Each structure stands twice: as structure tokens, then as C-alpha cells.
Amino acid sequence: MKEVFSMWKSTKMVVLVALCAGLYAALLIPFKSIVLIPGITEVRPASALPVVMGLLFGPAGAWGSAIGNLIGDFFGSLGIGSIFGFVGNFMFAYIPYKVWDNMGLVNKNDREPDLKSGRKIWTFIVAALGGALGCALIIGWGLELLGMVPFAALGAIITLNNSIPSIVLGIPLLIVLYPRIKKWDLMWTDILPPEDMPKTGAAARMGSIIMYLGVMFGLLGGLAVAAGAAGQELFSFTGQAGEGTSVILVAGIGVAATFIGSFMQ
């Protein structure tokens, strides 16, 4: 994860952060009036961008996604929950490029995100779902913790709101953008010097797996508990307050695993 911080030494990467943030905000703001949960979330076709920005620009795409979402919040949904929105949207772009690089789903000798094979398209879908669900987990857990919005409602809405555009629109967008970004030498892997690149190898792969499983456990487990499928009896909690505590605990385990895995890479 060191590249997330060391990238700020590169002027070109900082410029990419600004460009990603500006583009993301510019596509978020016009849809702020199409509200799904007042003051919390809205229709978001801009969700096609974070995964693509992460794969092309790495940590610059992650910071740009987080900052762009925060800028968008100033136009109708700014509040304490924006802290979790910042982190969630950071992970929306961060998780995909880690999955792409470290989980061994693409050929180690050809990791360029050009989507020229079925295997790469499949890997893109896996990476996009990881980012979309990771964002939903963190924001849903955070706002449940704050007592603002139930995890089940927000987690489900953000999952759909993020995953559909990121896959349906993200695939053609990456196919179009990749050759140009590569030609202009703007791929993050071409910009950062070797000493600032993230870890590779078995530890990094294990970190990616833990991160991905943490996302899936936290979101799906939290939704299952919220639906009454498990949790209250398992943790000896009863009533509505007990249900909320169970959701926070189960989803929180997933959040913790997600960040532990992230710092291993």
C-alpha cells in the first residue's frame, strides 16, 4: 500500500489525481437531483469511472475517486457520512487494481488492462465487483454505525448502483481509453519509479485474497444478518437494537479484514 502515499512525490501522479477528481465530480453532480435516499445517495452512472481510473492510474485513480466523491457531496449530501463516502470511494478504485495485479487471475507476463481476452474481461468483472461491493460495505457499515441509514437498505442500493455501471459501462470505457492512456505514457505503472511500486509475491497475493474475502464476508454477512438469516441468535442479541449490533459486528469484521489485506500489499 506504500504507493498510495509515495505517489504524492510525483507531479504527474498529482495531476492525475486532480483530473480524476474533477471528472468524477463533474459526472456525479448533474445526477444529484435523482435521489434514491435523501441526503445520502442518488442515481450514479458516474460509478463506471472508479474501476477504470483505478486500473489505469492506480493510487491516483483511488485518491481521485475519493476526492471527486467528496466534491460531489458538497452539492446535496455533505455530512458526517461523507467520511465513509470518502473511504468507500477510495476503495472503489483501490481494490480493482490490487485484484488485477495480485490475485493471479491474469497472466503474470501480460497484466496490461487492455481487455483483449475473455480471461481479462472476466478478471475485470471480478475486480469491478470487488470495488463496488467494498464501497458498499464501508459506507453501509459506517452509516449503520452512525445510526443514519439501515445497512440492508444502503448496502443493497450502493451495490447495485455501483456494480451495474462499473461493468456495463466500464468495459467499453476501458477498451476505448487504455490504448490512448498507454500511448501518452500515463499508466501509473509507467510513471512510478521501481522503489515506489507496491509489494508483489506471495504476501501481496495473500493480502488481496484476504481483502476480497473480507469484502464478500462483510457485505453478504451483514445483509444476511439484517435479513434475519443469522446473527441475532448467534451473538445472543435480540430485538431491533440487537439486530443493529449484529450487523455492525459482522460487517465490521469484513471491514477490518478488508483493511488488513490492503496493508499487506
pLDDT in tens, 129-149: 999 999 999 999 999 999 888
pLDDT greater at residue 36 or residue 137: 137
Q: How many domains does one find in the chain?
A: 1
Indicate whether 100 belongs to any domain. yes
Angle in degrees, 0-180, between the axes of helices 239-263 and 118-145, rounded to the nearest 10: 130
pLDDT at position 233? 43
- Which range of residues forms the domain containing residue 37? 3-199
Write down the mean pLDDT value for the chain: 89
Indicate whether 256 belongs to any domain. no
pLDDT greater at residue 239 or residue 226: 226
pLDDT greater at residue 159 or residue 110: 159
The backbone torsions φ and ψ at residue 37, rounded to the nearest 5 degrees and listed phi first, read: -125, 115
- Statement: residue 93 has pLDDT above 80: yes
pLDDT greater at residue 181 or residue 30: 181
pLDDT greater at residue 245 or residue 229: 245
End-to-end CA distance of the chain: 5
pLDDT at position 234? 42
- Statement: residue 104 has pLDDT above 80: no
Which position has the grid cell 480524476? 20
pTM of the model: 0.91
Indicate whether 184 belongs to any domain. yes
Please list the alpha-helical segments (H only) found in the chain.
3-6, 11-28, 49-57, 59-73, 82-102, 118-145, 151-168, 170-183, 188-191, 202-226, 239-263
CA distance 47 to 252: 24
42, β-bridge pairs? 35
Maximum separation of any 2 CA atoms in the chain, in Å: 59
* CATH number for the domain harbouring residue 99: 1.10.1760
Indicate whether 229 belongs to any domain. no
Indicate whether 226 belongs to any domain. no
pLDDT at position 231? 43
Q: Provide mean pLDDT across the span 239-256.
A: 80
> Percent of the chain having pLDDT more than 90?
71
Angle in degrees, 0-180, between the axes of helices 11-28 and 49-57, rounded to the nearest 10: 170
CA distance 99 to 103: 5
- Statement: residue 92 has pLDDT above 70: yes
Indicate whether 48 belongs to any domain. yes
Cell of 159: 451495490
pLDDT at position 232? 44
- Residue of 151, 154, 143 whose CA lies nearest to 226: 151
For residue 91, name the pLDDT band (cuts at 50, 70, 90): very high
pLDDT greater at residue 182 or residue 44: 182
Which position has the grid cell 473480507? 214
